[in-house]
């Protein structure tokens, strides 16, 4: 098994620019930020992705993200809005396989965007069938 950089950061074996810490999460600056103030909310317990994350830990991560959003808004850093992003598995863009939540300060014209074609235009019947499949798997 390869070493997990986020476990190393949480364990104090790798450097980070920490912003906040509690019993569940550590928040630190992203070293490849979209904009100044881009934060990562990382659970202290290793969870590979969202399916491996205990629900109470995931809930706590979003509570911390709310706190970080307020802090960013009041910090003087350019922040007209915030995106929260959690990638689940490599097909969704996950690169570090320790669940984490990006808190990204946004402003008009910052250039960050999700590049999608939006060519898929399902009918109501398609949406209903897809919804039924998801409901059956709950």
Which active-site residues does the annotation give?
A: 100
Find all residues with CB under 8 Å of 112, minimum gap 6, and list them. Answer: 34, 35, 83, 104, 106
Q: Which residues pair with 25 in a beta bridge?
A: 43
Rounded CA gap, 84 and 58, in Å? 13
In a 13 Å sphere around the CA of 19, the CA atoms on its Cβ side amount to: 19
């Amino acid at each position: 098994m390869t070493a997990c950089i986020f476990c190393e950061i949480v364990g104090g074996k790798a450097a980070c620019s920490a912003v906040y810490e509690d019993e569940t999460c550590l928040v630190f600056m992203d070293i490849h930020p979209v904009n100044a103030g881009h934060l990562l909310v990382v659970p202290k317990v290793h969870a590979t992705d969202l399916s491996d994350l205990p629900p109470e830990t995931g809930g706590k991560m979003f509570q911390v993200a709310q706190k970080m959003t307020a802090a960013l808004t009041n910090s003087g850093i350019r922040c007209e809005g915030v995106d929260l992003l959690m990638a689940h598995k490599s097909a969704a863009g996950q690169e570090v396989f320790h669940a984490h939540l990006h808190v990204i300060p946004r402003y008009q014209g910052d250039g960050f965007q999700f590049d999608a074609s939006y060519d898929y235009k399902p009918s109501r019947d398609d949406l209903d069938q897809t919804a039924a499949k998801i409901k059956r798997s709950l």
